């Protein structure tokens, strides 16, 4: 299950939120259990430069993350912002709090980078790609990276068929038996309001 919402009153301020919940079973055993949420408020300074505040939340059973909360604020730049091509990068700083099973909450400063690309391939097909990185300032090797690539094709004016690959990499898992890398392949029907 996923959502992506944007409030854009055609002014300088845009509020965005997205979320993804993955839960799956393989032969009756839970093999995926992840919830990620993000809320972001952007304020455009110029047609290409914006400042923003955001709050990220992650809960991932198979990464041994009870919760990870990362509020940050920063600046971004839009290289392209047309109907056909959108490309932006941003950087921010703030804090991160991570709770793992059996240990106290670990708090630290945080640095974050993000990059998003959306390219219209045909009048009915869109390719998107996004990367994000989150580093703890107390230990820069303790990082969380996410890479997503998707292809969406319109089925009607309000629906799309979407195929997506989502790669999540935690450089320093809480215990050595936890895998650093997870890849999810998602097929979805998207409804636009």
> pLDDT per residue over 154-164, tens digit each?
999 999 999 99
Q: Average the pLDDT over 117-143 and give the result.
A: 96
Tokens of 182: 């997870």
Q: Is the pLDDT of residue 181 over 90?
A: yes
* Domains along the sequence of the chain with CATH: 2-191 (2.40.160.40)
Cα–Cα distance between 139 and 107 in angstroms, integer?
11
Q: Band the pLDDT of 31: cuts 50, 70, 90.
A: confident
Q: Is the pTM of the predicted complex or chain greater than 0.75? A: yes
Cα–Cα distance between 125 and 81 in angstroms, integer?
18
Q: Among 36-50, 95-109, 175-189, whose mean pLDDT is lowest?
A: 175-189
pLDDT score for 10: 78
Cα–Cα distance between 172 and 100 in angstroms, integer?
12
pLDDT score for 163: 97
Sheet of 29-44: strand order equals: 2-7, 13-26, 29-44, 49-60, 65-81, 85-99, 106-122, 125-136, 139-154, 159-170, 181-191
Q: Band the pLDDT of 132: cuts 50, 70, 90.
A: very high
């Amino acid at each position: 299950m996923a959502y992506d919402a944007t409030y854009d009153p055609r002014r300088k301020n845009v509020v965005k939120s997205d979320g993804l919940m993955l839960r799956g079973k393989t032969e009756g055993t839970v093999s995926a259990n992840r919830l990620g949420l993000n809320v972001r408020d952007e304020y455009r300074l110029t047609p290409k430069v914006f400042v923003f505040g955001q709050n990220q939340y992650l809960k991932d059973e198979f990464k041994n993350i009870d919760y990870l909360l990362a509020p940050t604020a920063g600046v971004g730049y839009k290289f392209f912002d047309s109907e056909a091509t959108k490309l932006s990068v941003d950087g921010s700083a703030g804090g991160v709090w991570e709770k793992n099973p059996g240990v106290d909450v670990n708090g630290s400063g945080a640095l974050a980078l993000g990059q998003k690309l959306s390219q219209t391939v045909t009048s009915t097909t869109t390719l998107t790609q996004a990367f994000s990185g989150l580093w703890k300032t107390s230990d820069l090797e303790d990082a969380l990276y996410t890479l997503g690539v998707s292809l969406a094709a319109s089925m009607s004016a309000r629906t799309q068929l979407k195929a997506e690959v989502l790669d999540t990499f935690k450089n320093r898992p809480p215990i050595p038996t936890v895998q650093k890398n997870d890849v999810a392949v998602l097929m979805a029907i998207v409804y636009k309001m």
